Amino acid sequence: MSQQQAVTGMARRGGRSAPAGGRAIEAPPLAAPAMVRVKRLLLADRTATVIVVGAIVVALQIASIFAPAYIAPPPTLIVARMWTSLTVDPIQIAVTLARLAAALAFALVVGTVIGIAIGTIAWIRPYLRALVVIDTGISALSWMLLAAFWFKNPELRIFFIMAVLLIPFYALSVYDGIRAIPKDWVEMCESFRPSRMQVLHYLILPHIAAYVLGTTKTVVGYATRMVIFAELIGSAVGIGAQMGLAQANFDIAAVIGWTVLLVALNLFLQWAINRVEGYVLRWRPPVEVR
Amino acid sequence: MGADAASPIITLDRVTKRFGDFVAVDELSFSVGEGEIVALVGKTGAGKSTALNLIMGNLAATAGSVRVAGLDPMADFAALRGRLAVGFQTDRLLPWRTAVQNVALGMQILRVPYGTCMERAKQWLARVKLEAAADKYPHELSGGMRQRVSLARALAIDPAILLLDECFSQLDHVTSKALRGDVSGLIRELGKSCLFITHRIDDAIEMADRILVLGAPARLLLEVTPTAAQRIDQAAAAVLHARIAAAMGDEDENAAGTADAPATATDLHAC
């Protein structure tokens, strides 16, 4: 390495260089572009996710060497079980997705209607709000046990559990949305002397769309967990039921396989809702925080 | 009461509005004739907006009567549909609607077919010189542009009566002056009756056929009719400006304790 190369190298590392004159000068702190790129890559969300997933796979592989397959199955066995689930019995996933979609759609509609009623009809407000608040205080397990007594049909049972768990989220969020409508907008709208339905159509529904979508994003993960739980205790079909079966057969690879599929399903649903949100709320200005 | 108007379209007769013990409007009487532009001038807190809310039918008078197009604006709320429009201090555009959709809102509420709504809304945007911004959302428009859209929204329903509530006060001087000229030109061209509220005396002199100066609580202190010369000639306008300002100033002195010698009667007779 020549003297010039050595000096350049020191300068790049932000160190001191001693030129021929003998007096040490402070080199400017230049960051190497390659290092910056690597640092940026390491801090990216996608890279971090890949690294974390890789670490879990490695940990599972190491654990599988020391523990029996029914405790820590090797990643290859888990992938094989996942492949079987996807190709041999895809109906289980479809059934869970259908239950989830039906319950979410029902809760969205009913919860929105209840929220609008709370927000716009003064005499009904305290009663409906009390009902919704009491509902939020009842645990999911209580509803599951009650549903097991009340409904014989497993579909109805799961649907009921999901509905009573999800409706309060939408109702309270929509109520908050209505309270957040600026008074100026209401006055402006009323200056044209609209009917109540027109106020709902032109002002309230477009305004609460953001709240409904935000709630959907928040509850979709919770709803997925609840539908699996409800299937586990109340159905013979669906991902939850299959996980229960796998657990009974000490097939931990299938349990982990289904879990991985559930995570993927949840990520897909979040992505899909984000796309819908991006379209419905396309009027929103981008927010830039300094 | 301004009895000049041959056929008054807005009439307030000894109207009082109290909120508990607080008197916001005190035996206020005036009228606005068909095709007339009347300015209500008063300081902040003079009860101008309360008077406007009484005319809009958002509030009921404690005493006296309010008639708009021969109707009680509160009791006959729906009957005034499409006959009354309001331009507000802030633009109040709905952020999820584009400029053209915002202009169309009033027409949609009046159940005009959607295609006609959009066509007329585009025509109105062209009249307020914003045809190029038709598909822009409010956050993409400047303050002046948004206020133009807001005024186009009010005018698009072709109302007989236009109420303007300080709708130029949020804009800078240059934008406000340009918009005032455009709006008063449009109102005169269309022959609308207009009652506009402002605390800026210059706005009133420039736009109004008649100026009503209010004291606090809202009661008539002074009524003047600016001449064409006063609108054009700066010196003449300055004299009128000073007279209106003095009336508003006298009101302050009255409030300070000279209640026995109200300036209202003197000024009204002088007028």
Residues of chain A found within 8 Å of residue B80, distances taken between Cβ atoms: 193
- With an 8 Å Cβ cutoff, are A202 and B95 in contact? no
- With an 8 Å Cβ cutoff, are B109 and A198 in contact? yes
Q: Residue A159: CB partners within 8 Å, gap ≥ 6?
A: A99, A102, A103, A106
Whether the ω angle into residue B217 lies within 30 degrees of 0, i.e. cis, is: yes
Lowest mean pLDDT among A206-215, B40-49, B191-200: B40-49
Report which of residues A260 and B231 the model is more confident about: A260
Residues of chain A found within 8 Å of residue B77, distances taken between Cβ atoms: 193
Q: Please give, rounded to a whole number of angstroms, the shortest distance from the CA of A201 to a CA of chain B.
A: 10
Give the model's pLDDT for residue B217.
Answer: 82
The partner residue sitting opposite A191, judged by closest CB among B86, B95, B137, is B86
Question: Hey, which of A2-6, A168-172, B18-22 has the most confident mean pLDDT?
Answer: A168-172
Residues of chain B found within 8 Å of residue A193, distances taken between Cβ atoms: 77-78, 80-82, 84, 109
Question: Hey, which of A17-31, B211-225, B246-260 has the most confident mean pLDDT?
Answer: B211-225
Lowest mean pLDDT among A28-37, A218-227, B180-189, B210-219: A28-37
How many interchain CB pairs under 8 A, A with B? 58
Mean pLDDT of A256-275: 90
Give the model's pLDDT for residue A192.
Answer: 94
Give the model's pLDDT for residue A17.
Answer: 44
Lowest mean pLDDT among A124-138, A186-200, B173-187: B173-187
- With an 8 Å Cβ cutoff, are B92 and A190 in contact? no
Mean pLDDT of B75-87: 90
pLDDT tens sequence across B83-139: 999 999 889 999 999 999 999 999 999 999 999 999 999 999 998 888 899 999 999
Residues of chain B found within 8 Å of residue A283, distances taken between Cβ atoms: 95-98, 137, 139
Residues of chain A found within 8 Å of residue B112, distances taken between Cβ atoms: none
Indicate if the pLDDT at residue A21 is higher than 50: no
- With an 8 Å Cβ cutoff, are A198 and B77 in contact? no
Which amino acid type is present at position B37?
I
- For residue A261, the Cα-to-chain-centroid distance in whole angstroms is 14
Q: Is the pTM of this model over 0.90?
A: no
Residues of chain A found within 8 Å of residue B110, distances taken between Cβ atoms: 192
Give the model's pLDDT for residue B263.
Answer: 33
Nearest to A239 by CA among A256, A222, A219: A256
Give the model's pLDDT for residue A94.
Answer: 92
Residues of chain A found within 8 Å of residue B159, distances taken between Cβ atoms: none
- With an 8 Å Cβ cutoff, are B81 and A190 in contact? no
Give the model's pLDDT for residue A43.
Answer: 82
Residues of chain B found within 8 Å of residue A194, distances taken between Cβ atoms: 109
Task: State whether the Cα torsion A160-A172-A268-A61 is positive or negative.
Answer: negative
Q: Please give, rounded to a whole number of angstroms, the shortest distance from the CA of A171 to a CA of chain B.
A: 22
Give the model's pLDDT for residue A290.
Answer: 66
Nearest to A192 by CA among B238, B160, B271, B105: B105
Indicate if the pLDDT at residue A246 is higher than 80: yes
Touching check for A123 and chain B: CB below 8 Å?
no
Give the model's pLDDT for residue B6.
Answer: 54
Binned at pLDDT 50, 70 and 90, residue B48 comes out as: confident
Contact A159, A103 (CB under 8 A): yes
Chain B residues interacting with chain A (CB cutoff of 8 angstroms) = 56, 58, 77-78, 80-82, 84-86, 88, 90, 92, 94-98, 105-106, 108-110, 137, 139-140, 154, 157
Give the model's pLDDT for residue A186.
Answer: 94
Touching B: A residues 196-235, CB under 8 Å: 198, 202-203, 206-207, 209
The partner residue sitting opposite B92, judged by closest CB among A184, A194, A285, is A184
Binned at pLDDT 50, 70 and 90, residue B42 comes out as: confident
Return the residue of B nearest to A196 by Cα: B109
- For residue B171, the Cα-to-chain-centroid distance in whole angstroms is 16
pLDDT tens sequence across A30-82: 556 788 888 888 888 888 888 998 999 999 999 999 988 888 889 999 999 88
Give the model's pLDDT for residue B240.
Answer: 84
Q: Which residues, listed in sequence order, are joined to residue B15 by a DSSP beta bridge? A: B28
Touching check for A286 and chain B: CB below 8 Å?
no
Touching check for A66 and chain B: CB below 8 Å?
no
Give the model's pLDDT for residue B258.
Answer: 33
How far are the Cα atoms of A106, B102, B181, B204 from residue B194, in angstroms, in the given order?
49, 22, 14, 12
Touching B: A residues 158-187, CB under 8 Å: 184-185, 187
Indicate if the pLDDT at residue A16 is higher than 50: no
Contact B90, A184 (CB under 8 A): yes
Nearest to B154 by CA among A30, A176, A143, A187: A187
Q: Which residues, listed in sequence order, are joined to residue B22 by a DSSP beta bridge? A: B19
Mutate to test the interface with A, among B59, B96, B142 (most CBs of A within 10 A): B96
Give the model's pLDDT for residue A71.
Answer: 86
Give the model's pLDDT for residue A107.
Answer: 96
Rounded to the nearest integer, the mean pLDDT of chain B is 83
User: Of all helices (H) and strands (E), which one includes residue A61?
Assistant: helix A45-66
**Token digits of residue B11:** 């009439």
Residues of chain B found within 8 Å of residue A185, distances taken between Cβ atoms: 92, 94
Indicate if the pLDDT at residue B260 is higher than 60: no
Lowest mean pLDDT among A249-253, B92-96, B181-185: B181-185
Report which of residues A3 and A33 the model is more confident about: A33
Return the residue of A nearest to B109 by Cα: A194
Give the model's pLDDT for residue B224.
Answer: 87
DSSP for residue A2? -
Give the model's pLDDT for residue B256.
Answer: 39
> Pairing between strand B37-41 and B210-215?
parallel
Residues of chain B found within 8 Å of residue A198, distances taken between Cβ atoms: 109
Nearest to B125 by CA among B104, B94, B140, B96: B104
Q: Flag whether the ipTM exceeds 0.90.
A: no
- With an 8 Å Cβ cutoff, are B109 and A185 in contact? no
Give the model's pLDDT for residue B211.
Answer: 92
Indicate if the pLDDT at residue A143 is higher than 50: yes
Contact B131, B99 (CB under 8 A): no
